[in-house]
Structure 1
Amino acid sequence: MLKKTIFASIFLVTASVAGLAVPVYAQDATQTQIVQDYELAQANKALVTKAFQELFGDHDLTALDRYWATDYIQHNPSISDGREAVKTFFESLGILTWPKQQVKFERVIAEGDLVMLQTVQPALENSPATVIVDIFRVEKGKIVEHWDVIQPVPAEATNQRPMY
């Protein structure tokens, strides 16, 4: 327990100095609560990145059964709610014929029950590379809700900085 308390204190100081987002707690928050919140965020991060790799990198549709809630809520207007709708959508896109790949997570950020991923979908046939930000909400070890923002990488840009 002492190691966790020391770790949490060091983490909070380091994160503050580095300018990272650190959850704001009421004055009565205990070190135990801070450590538990941190551990929950890390567990949710691990769950979401594993689920994402299995679905989008390995093209394993059974990952939906393992990691997504049956009554999953989808905010992408192209896909209906529920994990079966996600399966049907990806099957219609032909995901099972796509080459498998190791997903490169550009950024992974977690706080509480939310996990944000920034990834780049490589160019496919006639479509450019696409930068994607996915936000997942996790509850009881399952992905229960999802939002995304998807933007193609333009062939020509005003500035030369990458989008990710």
Structure 2
Amino acid sequence: MLQLKSFAAAAFAVAALTAAAHAGNTKPVKQVLQQHELTQKNRTLVLKAYQALFGDHDLTALDRYWAEAYIQHNPTMTDGRDSVKKLLESMGVANWPKQKVDFKRVIAEGDLVMTQVVQPKAGNMPETVIVDIFRVENGKIAEHWDVMQPVPANPVNKRPMY
């Protein structure tokens, strides 16, 4: 697996350098590889953090993966990881059944990672499509934006939302 990752990184570097050369960009190979490695590291961190908190319902994940001074752009929440913890505790998330998070899409570039997931229907809550954007700084999730949209029971457009 490690050889495959190394090969993938080398292939990425060659492709990036080829594209950069055609665009007149002459970034050194080392810089391109460092950016790719940072992107992959941040992607891995966010996926682990998301699974731990929203799949395993492990509230201690907040201490491991979220910055203490975490910035929240969701208008219904305040800043700080304690705000997230209090909200999830009030919802009783620790008692919910564990589940494997089904990431429909993951896009990462540098310090930004975007995920698209579907939260299954629960009680009176409809199935909901959630897009989260995380900014990672110093190995911790430092900032967050989200968009949540319930899946309608009788959509006019029959294409799936995810």
Q: TM-score range by the shorter chain?
A: 0.7 to 0.9
1:91-148 deviation per Cα after TM superposition (whole angstroms, max 9, x unaligned): 0111111111000000010001000000000000111100000000000100000000
Return the offset for 1:9.
1.2
Q: Where has structure 1 moved over 6 Å in runs of 4 or more? A: none
Q: Which segments of 5 or more consecutive residues in structure 2 lack a partner in the other structure?
A: 1-5
Matched with 2:77 is 79
State the Cα distance separating 1:157 from its structure 2 match.
1.1
Partner of 2:120: 122
Contact 1:73/1:82, CA 8 A, preserved across alignment: yes
SS at match of 1:88: helix
- What do the CA deviations read for 1:57-86 (whole angstroms, capped 9, x no partner)? 000000000000000000111111001111
Aligned pair partner of 2:13 in 8, 25, 28: 8
Shift of 1:28: 3.3
CA-atom RMSD in angstroms = 2.1
**Number of corresponding residues:** 154
Q: Residues 125 and 65 (structure 1 numbering): CA distance in 2 closer, same or farther, change over 3 Å?
A: same
Structure 1 residues without counterparts, runs of 5 or longer: 17-21
Q: Aligned runs of 1:135-154 on 2, under 5 Å?
A: 135-154=133-152
Aligned to 1:117, the other structure's residue is in SS state: strand
CA contact (8 A) 1:130 1:152 kept: yes
* Identity percentage of aligned residues: 60
* Deviation of the 1:31 alpha carbon: 1.5
Seen in structure 2, the aligned counterparts of structure 1 residues 26 and 72 have a Cα distance that, compared at 3 Å, is: farther
